[in-house]
Structure 1
């Protein structure tokens, strides 16, 4: 089975992100969250008033050494994105964390997520000089299998750590990609 490779765009500073791209990031985040995706908001539905300030907070941290934004597009429409972050502490500056990994439900299974993850790996290793990547995923959504196919492995689990509704608690699955 071959995986489709899609172009991924990288942003390394807040000034590179246009207002239109900012709006597309927020719209994607709203769509993914409202479709049940675990991308940072616990209790859908959300709208742009929730997502836009969160996007702005991420964009405000963009810097070549510590925070990168990657986006995937199809026919000019943003269909997915993620954020790579490195902690400035020398003790842990050799690893990074992926945040807000998401693709629109309409394009899942078409390779956009895999392309984002592949490019994140390359950038982390070749441009940021990282040795490993980490992420936390919501259990019960099949994400462990997706990441596993891309070389990630589960290293821990926090049972019931994520509260999605009054009676829906999920494990937070801790995963690592090492070596890059």
Structure 2
């Protein structure tokens, strides 16, 4: 069954806990979502709070996908630029699909829903994201229409002696 996506859901304790569980499980299965395994909910919680603050201040929007059982299965945060010369594009952060749902096309569905959300926002002409090199993520994003527009070699230190490229991807909407 496909996921059900909601843009700007009400933040409840169940949603908060669902995102924390998702983020922890994705990280601990090797996902490149800002942490390195092993990670705990307590380590991830402050970053989620930062996202929620940005939402409360109107700087970010949450796209969440629920599975057929109503569990949080996917997320992406659409974050507006605050720099006056860059307000025509937004950032896509914390793009993740629960490991139990991977391989079903839900990642593509999530990106399509994020693109639709961005197209519905006044003045947004492109979506930008970064991804960790060495995992093939740039090939996945390219297959969804994103173009690699830059790369910073060794910018992400996963562990001592294990540096990965920070790959910059862009999806033009016009």
Q: Same fold (TM over 0.5)?
A: yes
Instruction: Tell me the alpha carbon deviations over residues 39-83 of structure 1, each in whole angstroms, 9 at most, x when there is no partner.
Output: 112x32111111122111111111595311111121211111110
* Cα RMSD (Å): 1.8
Q: Give the distance between the partners of 1:77 and 1:65, measured in 2 at CA.
A: 25
- Following superposition, which runs of at least 4 residues in structure 1 exceed 6 angstroms of deviation? none
Find the counterpart in structure 2 of residue 45 from structure 1. Answer: 38
Q: Give the distance between the partners of 2:122 and 2:103, measured in 1 at CA.
A: 28
Find the counterpart in structure 2 of residue 59 from structure 1. Answer: 52
**Structure 2 runs not aligned, ≥5 long:** none
**Structure 1 runs not aligned, ≥5 long:** none
Please say if residues 65 and 128 of structure 1, whose CA atoms lie closer than 8 Å, have aligned partners that are also in contact. Answer: no
Please say if residues 24 and 39 of structure 2, whose CA atoms lie closer than 8 Å, have aligned partners that are also in contact. Answer: yes
Find the counterpart in structure 2 of residue 17 from structure 1. Answer: 11
Find the counterpart in structure 2 of residue 117 from structure 1. Answer: 111
Find the counterpart in structure 2 of residue 107 from structure 1. Answer: 101
Alignment TM-score, normalising by the size of structure 1:
0.89
Find the counterpart in structure 1 of residue 159 from structure 2. Answer: 165
Give the CA deviation at 1:90: 2.2
